[in-house]
Amino acid sequence: MAIRASASQEVRRLIGDLEGADPVKRDAALARLAVIGTRAVRQLLEHLSTASAEATVTLLGALESIPDPRAVEPVLGALDHADPRVRLGAIKAARQLLALTDGTRVLDKLTAFAVDPARPGPERAAAIGVLGSLSARTLGPLVERLRSDPSADVRAAIEHIGLQTEDPVAELEDSADGWLGRDPGAVLHLVTRAGDQAPLSTLHRLVEKARSREADGRRGLRRDWATVRAALHLALARRGSTVALYDLREAFEAAHDPLPADYLAAVTVIGDATCLEPLALAYAAAHDLADTEHWRRDLAAAFKAIMEREGLTRRHAALRRVRGRFRKELEQLLA
């Protein structure tokens, strides 16, 4: 889908509505920016660098629904802002960044924030709430350390984590075999916690269900279900499974916008020669989009990583097929 020439003007107008006094326009702008997604990130970050504290909170709210690697540095920096409203906004915005390739830095910063007794209790509790979406294995040391923390807010947040799903694997299996809940965030939470333990067949069935929800759901939720589907692919890839590789290829073939970051991580880990043509197709389609330099760069990195891992050269049949369709793009991908 080609981006209109006026797209940047639309984003600029929406940011103006975000920073305005009308709460109805502000909410509408947040919803629209979430749909525009990564194409709005560059301008959001430009405004963020010079915004007042109040405007910064609103801009961080817009970034909450757009997981983009470019937001990592600004969000981490905002965690040390002098204004507590900005710090809380940064904590909320950090949730979507945990699943990115650079998510380890976000995890480390939020963990340090949560255990720092010099930080206000409500802010530490908010950070714990964001970290609560991680696996029990990751959360275990944090829970043990903070179970008897002097802050009542922190203790309450830790107790809440303890009351979360006792058996996330069983819940994932129930979701795969029966009714998939309407809340993609809840499903993503389960995948994050139990994706490394659930049966591969369960994850595969969930890929199909998430794909169906993404295709048939309301437009505002499609990106959220795409994020769930991407997380499932990454969980499979980390366990060396190619059971859903066909769906991973099709995701890149159908990509009209930058995909959630877990797709790139998954194809980098598990992709083979059959993935090169879909990656080249996504790269070619990206030329018609605005503000996708980062997306094209990541596609090229994944393309070259697969070639290196699989030991492919330009003479390989897969590369010859790519050259036949995308001669110009192939040179750019390999540059």
What domains, with CATH codes, occur in the chain?
1-92 (1.25.10.10)
| pTM beyond cutoff 0.75 | no
187 closest CA partner among 216, 157, 229? 229
CA distance 309 to 271: 9
* pLDDT of 172 over the 80 cut: yes
Most confident of 100-114, 149-163, 212-226, 246-260: 246-260
What does the pLDDT look like over 69-124, one tens digit per residue? 999 999 999 999 999 999 999 999 998 888 787 788 999 999 999 999 999 999 99
Higher pLDDT pick, 88 / 163: 88
pLDDT at 6: 60
pLDDT at 127: 94
Task: Kindly indicate the confidence band of residue 4, based on its pLDDT and cuts at 50, 70 and 90.
Answer: very low
SS (H, E, C) 148-172: CCCCHHHHHHHHHHHCCCCCHHHHH
pLDDT at 181: 65
Residue 247, burial from CB neighbour count under 10 angstroms (0-12, 13-18, 19+): middle
* pLDDT of 273 over the 60 cut: yes
Instruction: Kindly state the average pLDDT of the residues 129-149.
Output: 80
Q: Quickly list H helices, the chain.
A: 7-19, 23-36, 41-48, 53-63, 72-78, 84-94, 103-115, 121-131, 136-146, 152-162, 168-177, 184-194, 200-216, 219-238, 245-253, 261-270, 276-286, 293-310, 317-325, 327-334
Task: Kindly indicate the confidence band of residue 217, based on its pLDDT and cuts at 50, 70 and 90.
Answer: low
192 closest CA partner among 227, 242, 240, 243? 227
Task: Kindly indicate the confidence band of residue 160, based on its pLDDT and cuts at 50, 70 and 90.
Answer: confident
